[in-house]
Structure 1
Amino acid sequence: MPKPNSKTAQRGFAAVAAAAAVVVGGGLVPAAAAPEVIEIPSESPSATAIDSAEQAEGLEEAVKRDLGKTLEQYNEESKVSEEAAEISERLNDEGIKASASVEGGQAEIKVSKADEAKAQHVVETGADKSATLTVEIGQMRNVGDVYEEVLENVKPAELTRLTAIMNTKSGLQIIADGPAAAERKATATSSKLAAIKSLTLEEFVAKAEGVKLVEGSGPAKTTAADDYFGAMGYLTDRSGQPAPTMRICSTGFNAWSPAGEDAIITAGHCAEDGQTKVVGIAEQTEPNVLEAIGVPVGEFGFSQFGGPNNSGIPSNDLEGITEDEWAEIVNNTEPGTDVAVIDDINSDLNLPALVSNWPAGGPREGTVKVTGVSKAVVGSTACSSGRTTGWGCSLIIGEGLFFVLGLNNDQRPVWGYAAENPGQSVLDQGDSGGPVMVGTRAVGINSADSPGPDGIEGNDDDLAFYTSLSDVQSKGYIDGYQIKFYVNTPMLTSVSDGAEVEPGAKLGGTVSEASSGTKVNVLVDGKIVETVAVDAEGEFSINAPQAEGAFSFTLEAVNGLNKSELVNGAVVVVAPEPTPTTTEPAVPTEPSRPAEPTEEPAEQASPPADQEPSASASDEPSKSTEAKEPKKDEPKKDEPLAETGAGSVPLIAAGGALALIGAAVLLLHRSARRHG
C-alpha cells in the first residue's frame, strides 16, 4: 500500500452500580511553527480487500504489550464480541431486556426468567448457536432503569458523586467517589423534594436489591489536552487562529456527510459546546510531541456533549432546589452522548478509511483498515488510539452511562463503555475524539478517564470511557453521516468464470468480512441491472439472464456510500439438453375376437312352412370389433355382441382408433344385412 507523504500533513429500585467521569483533555500547549503545505496521495477509501499484514507494528505491538496476545488472536476474539453484540441487538429488537458479555472466547447472554423461552429461540436461530444463555431470577433491569430510579430517589446533592452506572460481569454497578462524609453539610428545605428525594447513594443502594456501590474518583476530565488518518491530532481555539494557548484533540474516524462529502467523527466536548473552532492538524512524528501546526482541517458541524443542548446535572446549589426546578433538570438530563462532526474538509486533504496505528516514524507510516461499525460488549478486548498515547488495548469491563465534567461544572451523561486504563496508558489527555476498535470494526470514540486506585469491582486500574458509536447511530445523533470503511470485493463461488449455466440460474457468491447492510450490485455496460442483499454469513446470489448467449457483467459490493473494487465476470447461458423419453412406443395389435360361447344356443322355433327362415346370429360369426352400442332403452344383453367383451378394446392403444373405425364400418354393414 502506498504510504502518504510524511512531509507534513414509576419505578422501583434496581440492581446497579453508578459513577461520574472526567473528560479526558484540557492541557495547554504553546503555539508552534508556521504551517507547511501537506501533500497526501489520493487513495480511495474503497481500495483493496482487507489485508491483516498491513495492521502491523503499532497495533501489533499494542496487542502484544497490553493483552499478551497475537494480532490473529485479537481479531478472532473480536468476531465473538461482534456475535454477542448482534444477539443482544436481536433480543432488544424483540423487546427482551438482555445483557451480553464475552468470556473464554464464548458469548454469554443474560435474560430474565420470563423471557427465557423467547430468548432461547432468538439465540438458536442466530448465526452463532453456541452462545450461553443465562437466566436471571426476577425482573431484568438495565442501566436506563437504574438511572431513572436514581434521579427519582436520591438527593440531588448526592448526584455530584456519580462517576458511572454500568452493566458489568458482576451485574449493575454504581461507581461513586466514595461514601458521604459525616461532616458534609445538609441544608434543610421546606420543599417536597427534600422529603421525596432524601436518600444518599449508600441508602439507595441498600434498598436497591442487587445494586452495588463502588468507590471511584469523581467526575472524569476531558481527554482534550487541548484536545487526523483517524487518531491524528488537531488543534482548536475559540478564535480559529493559532494562539499562545490552544487545545488538542484526536480525530476518530473519517466519514461521509449526508451529501456524500468528506467528514470526520470526533468527540463532542472538543467543540466546547459550539464555542471553539478547528485551527489545523497537529503535526507529530511520535505520540505526545507536537512539532508543528499543519494545514487547516475543516469546521465543526454538529456537536453534542451530554444531554440535549449540551445539558447535564448541575453541580451547585442543589440542596435548596425546588421540585419544579428539579423536574426541569431531570427532563434535560436524559442519557446523552459525546460526539461531533467536522465538515467543510480542506479539499487538499485525502480522508481514507484508515486509522493510524502510530508506528515508529509517525502516524502516516502505518495504518489499520476500518471494515465496519459494531458494538462492544463486556469482555471485549478493544484498542484505542490517539495523539497522546498512540495505540493502547484493554478489556471492556462495563457498558452504560458515565458522567463527565462539563464546561459549566455540570455532569454530562454519556452512553458508552468503561475499560481498564492502567496508569492512563490507554487513554490520556489529548486522546479525546480518537478511535476505539474491536478487531477492525469501529465501536467507539475516546471520551474520558477517571484516575484513582478504585474503579468497577474487580478492577484496580484507572478507567477509560468511550462513547458508543452503536448508540450514536441508533439514536440518530448524526443522521446521514456514515463512517468510512473498506468493503471487500464480491467473489462468485458457485461457478467459474466463463462457465455454462442454464437460463435464470442462481449464481452464488460471497463478500468476506461483510458488515450488516452490505449489498451487491450487478452492472452491465456500467448500469445497475440487479441489486441483492448479502446475508449474515456474507453470502449472496444473483440471477443469470433468461436469454441464451454470453453474459458479461461487473460486481460491486456497497454499504451506504462505501464501495468495493469492481470485479468482472462472465458466464455462457445455454438451453438445457432436452430430457430423453424412456417410454417405448406401443406396437399396434390385432383386435381380439369374441370368446366362443360355452353353451349351445337355445332351440329356435321353426318358421311357418310358407316362409323362408330368417338369418340367425350363428349364420356368420361376428368379430369383437363389430361392437355396437345398444339402442336407448334397449337392454344391453339383447345386443348381439354385448356379452362378448368386444366393447372393451382400449381407445388409446396404438392403432386402436383405426381398428375401431374399421370395426364400426363392418358392424354397420352386417347390421344392415341382419336387420334390413
Structure 2
Amino acid sequence: MTLRRSTATAVAALSTLLLATVAAPAVALEPAPEPTTAPESAVAPDQTSAAIPEPTATPEPTASPEPTAAPEPTASPEPTAEPTPAPTAEPQPTEAPAAPADLDALAQQLLTMDPAVHAVVPQESGALALYVTAADLADATVAFAERFAERVVVEDIGAPFTTQATDDVVGGAGYQFRLDATTTVACSIGFTAWTPDGGDAVLTAGHCAEGRSDLEAELTLPSMDPPAGGAGGIAWTPLGTLGFAQFGQPGNPAGATTLDSVDIAAIDVADDSPLTLLPAVTDWSTASSDDLAASSTPIARIGAAEPGMPVSASGRTSGLVSGAVVGGLGWATINGPQGATVVHGFSTNFATLNGDSGGAVFSGDAALGVVSGSNGTLTWVADIGNALAQTGGYSLRLDLAEPRVTGPADLSVLGTGSTITGTAHPSTTLTVAYGEQSQQVPVDAAGAWSWTVPAEAGEYTLRLSVRDAGFNVSDTVEVPITVWPVAAQQPAVDEQPAKVPAEPAAVEAAPAAAAPTCTAGVDCLAESGVDPTATLAAASALFALAIPFLAISRRRARATA
C-alpha cells in the first residue's frame, strides 16, 4: 500500500499508540509520545508530518484487592508441630477488557489517519462500525478492531466514497473541441438540451465549431479553468460529438438581416456517457471542488430579452458576470476566424472574454441566449428562442415545477363528484395516476388545472407530474385523498329553477257521523236523544253575541261612505 510520507508518518504514530494499547495489560491508554519529525531537508514542503492529537487518558482503574488468604490453622500444642501452610488461592478467570472512554476518538483518528478507513458510523447498539477497504487496512487498525471486537464492527465496502456531483453538467461549464492532435478551441456550454429524439445534448455557439462537422468535444476541469485561478484547457472527460452547427444562414456563412441568421451549435452526448445533464447554469463559485452544479440557477423557461432587463452570463473564462439588456432584438456583425457574420440577437452592457463564447445568458430562471461576441465593452448574444428554431428539433432542458394542490383545504373528506384544483408549469400536461389508472389534464397558460375525483369512494394516493410538449418531465408528487359516498347535492340558490306554486294538499275529510235513524211520523230529534230546547238556547246565545259586532260594522260602513 502506497501512502504519502506525511500520511505514512501519521499512521506509524497511530500504530504505535494502538499497538501499545493492544499490548498493555491495563485498560487505560497512556498518551502517545510525540512522533519524531523528519528534518525539513528530508521532507517535501507539501509532505510535512502532522502532529497526532493525543487521546484523552482514561484514569487507571483501581487494582482489584488480592484475595484474602485463609487464616492459618491453630498450631498444635506439640512444640515440634510445624504450622500448616496457607491454602493457595485459585486463579480467577480474566474478564474481557472494557473499551476505553475515548474509543470514539480513537476511531475518528483512524478515519483521518488510515486511508483504508472510509467511515466511522455509530450503531444503535452502542457499537462502532468501520467502513473499510479490508485489503488495505493498516496493522494498527486491524489490531484496534480485534482488541475491541465487542464494540467495533468492521465492514468491508471495497472502494472509498467518491463525489458523484462532478459528473453533473450545467450551463456555463467549459469544454473544448479538438481540431487536431495539437490544436483545440475552448468555448463554454450555454444550456443543457435534448436531441430531436430525446437524447442528451448541450447547446453552444455555432462559431465554436469553426465550420467543421466532425468534431469531438471534451469537458475541461473546472478547478483549472480561469474562474478558479487556473490557466484552463485541462481536458477532463469526453462530452460528446458535434450534432449541429450554424453560424450565419444555412449555406451562407456571411448571414443576413433575417431571423435564420444565427449562431448556434449542439453537441450530442453519448447514450452510455456517465454524465448527468441538469437544467441549470453555474455561477462558478464552487469551481475549486470541480462541482459546478453545487451552486447554480435552475432554468425553467425560454424568455425574451427586453430593454433594461437584468441579465447574467456564465462562461469558462469570465465566470459569472451580470448587467442589463441594452436595446431590443436586432442584428450585429460578428468577426471571427471565418470572416464576418451577421447574427440575430441582442446586446448587454458588460463584456465577456475569449473562451466565454457559447456560454449561457439568462435572466432569473429564463434562458435568453448564448454568447456570440464581445468588443471589450458590450456582449452580443444570439437569441436562443429563434436559434433553436433553426436546429431541426433540438429543445432546451427545463426544470419544470412540481404540481401543487391548492384546494380544497381538507383532502380527507372529499365527496364523490368533488373537484381538486392546483397549479403547475404553464401550458403543460398534468398526469394524475392512481392505482393502475392514469388521466391527462391540461394546464392552462396561467398554470391552473382542475380534476374530478373518482366516482368510487375509497382512499387513493395520487401521483402527479407534468410534461411539456418536448421531453421535460417534472418530479412526481404523491397526494393522499379520501373520497366518501355522498348524496347528490342541491344546486346553489341562484341556480335553482323557479318554483311553481304547489297545489294545496288535499285534506282528507273526517268520516261523516252516521245519520240518526228516524221513524216516519215520529219526532227525529226526540228519537235521537237530542234535547231541542238546549239546542235553541245555544243558538239564541250566539245570535245575541253577534248583534254588537254587526252594529260596529254598520257604523264603519257609514263612516267610509
Normalised by the length of structure 1, the TM-score is 0.45
Higher relative contact order (CA 8 A, sep 6+): 1
Q: Aligned partners of 1:448 and 1:291: how far apart in 2?
A: 20
CA gap 1:586/1:381 in 2 versus in 1, 3 angstroms:
same
- How far has the Cα of 1:246 moved from its partner? 1.8
CA shift, 1:521, in A, is 0.7
Q: Secondary structure at the match of 1:297?
A: strand
Question: 1:450, CA displacement in angstroms?
Answer: 2.2
Is 2:431–2:441's contact at 8 Å kept on the other side of the alignment?
A: yes
Q: 1:575 aligns with which of 463, 469, 486?
A: 486
Change (3 A) 1:419 1:261: same
| 1:328-357 C-alpha deviation (Å, 9 max, x unpaired) | xx7x97751100100143612111122211
SS of the residue 1:448 aligns to: strand
The alpha-carbon deviation at position 263 of structure 1 amounts to 0.6
Q: Which runs of no fewer than 5 residues in structure 2 stay unpaired?
A: 1-161, 511-561
Structure 2 partner of 1:17: none
Distance 1:41 1:518, change over 3 A: farther
Does the C-alpha gap of structure 1 residues 464 and 544 become closer, same or farther in structure 2, counting only changes over 3 Å?
same
Give the Cα separation in 2 of the matches to 1:534 and 1:519. Answer: 6
Give CA deviations for 1:24-57 in whole Å, capped at 9, x if unaligned.
Answer: xxxxxxxxxxxxxxx7637999xxxxxxxxxxxx
Determine the C-alpha separation between the residues in 2 that align with 1:539 and 1:584.
48
Change (3 A) 1:526 1:446: farther
Of residues 260, 265, 277, the one that matches 1:351 is 277
How do 1:81-120 residues align onto structure 2 when only pairs under 5 Å count? none
Checking the alignment, whether the CA contact within 8 Å between 1:548 and 1:575 is kept in structure 2 is: no
Tell me what 1:237 maps to: 178
**Cα offset, 1:572, TM superposition:** 0.7
Taking a change above 3 Å as real, the CA distance of residues 448 and 259 of structure 1, as seen in their structure-2 partners, is same
- Of the three residues 315, 334, 342, the one matched with 1:404 is 334
* Paired residue type of 2:202: I
The letter for the 2-side match of 1:237 is: R
> 1:463 is matched with which residue?
378
Answering whether residue 507 of structure 2 is matched by residue 588 of structure 1, we say yes
Q: Which residue does 1:292 correspond to in 2?
A: 234
Name the count of aligned residue pairs: 331
Q: CA deviation at 1:261?
A: 1.4
How far is the alpha carbon of 1:469 from its aligned partner? 1.0
Q: Secondary structure at the match of 1:556?
A: strand
Instruction: Give deviations 1:255-292, integer Å, cap 9, x for gaps.
Output: 12122211111111111112562342111325263162
Q: Which runs of 4+ in 1 moved over 6 A?
A: 42-45, 580-585
Q: Specify the SS of the correspondent of 2:317.
A: coil
State the distance in 2 between where 1:541 and 1:334 align: 39
* Gapped regions of structure 1 (runs ≥ 5): 1-38, 46-227, 314-329, 452-461, 592-676
The whole-number CA distance in structure 2 between the counterparts of 1:526 and 1:467 is 46
Letter in 2 for 1:402: A
CA contact (8 A) 2:259 2:386 kept: no
Distance 1:545 1:584 in 2: 41
Distance in structure 2 (CA, Å) of the matches to 1:496 and 1:405: 60
Report the alpha carbon displacement of residue 392 of structure 1 after superposing the two structures with TM. 0.6
Identify which of 363, 367, 388 aligns with 1:442: 367
| Equivalent residues of 1:40, 1:349 under 8 A apart | no
Could you tell me which residue of structure 2 aligns to residue 41 of structure 1? 164
User: Secondary structure in 1 aligned to 2:427?
Assistant: coil
Q: Does the Cα contact within 8 Å between 1:236 and 1:279 map onto a contact in 2?
A: yes
Cα distance, 1:376 vs structure 2: 1.4
CA 488–526 in structure 1, closer or farther in 2 if over 3 Å, else same: farther
Q: How has the CA–CA distance of structure 1 residues 233 and 468 changed in structure 2, closer, same or farther, with 3 Å as cutoff?
A: same
Q: Distance in 2 between matches of 1:526 and 1:233?
A: 45
Contact 1:238 1:275 in 2 (8 A): no
Helix, strand or coil at the partner of 1:258 = coil
8 Å Cα contact 2:192/2:396 also seen in 1: yes
Q: Does 1:495 align with 2:413?
A: no
1:391 is matched with: 320
CA distance in 2, matches of 1:232, 1:526: 42
Q: 2:416–2:454: 8 Å Cα contact kept in structure 1?
A: yes
The 1:432–1:408 alpha-carbon spacing in structure 2 relative to 1, beyond 3 Å, is closer
Q: Distance in 1 between matches of 2:241 and 2:368?
A: 24
- The within-5 A match list for 1:218-617 is 229-239=170-180, 241=181, 243=182, 245-275=183-213, 277-285=215-223, 286-287=226-227, 289-290=231-232, 292-312=234-254, 335-345=260-270, 347-359=273-285, 361-362=287-288, 364=291, 365-398=294-327, 399-409=329-339, 411-421=340-350, 424=351, 427-451=352-376, 462-473=377-388, 476-496=389-409, 498-511=411-424, 514=425, 516-525=426-435, 527=437, 529-559=438-468, 560-569=470-479, 570-576=481-487, 586-588=505-507
Within 2, Cα distance between the matches of 1:588 and 1:275? 98
> SS at 2:386's partner residue?
helix
Question: Which range moves more in the overlay, 360-369 or 574-583?
Answer: 574-583
- C-alpha distance in 1 between matches for 2:167 and 2:407: 30
Question: Tell me, what secondary structure is at the counterpart of 1:254?
Answer: strand
Give the match's secondary structure for 2:276: coil
Provide the alpha-carbon RMSD of the alignment: 3.2
* Contact kept in structure 1, 2:222 and 2:287, CA below 8 Å: no
Structure 2 residue matching 1:308: 3-state secondary structure: coil
Residues 258 and 344 of structure 2 are in contact (CA less than 8 Å); yes or no, is this contact kept in structure 1? no
Q: Equivalent pairs: percent with the same residue?
A: 28
State whether residues 433 and 446 of structure 1, in contact with CA within 8 Å, keep that contact through their aligned partners in structure 2.
Answer: yes
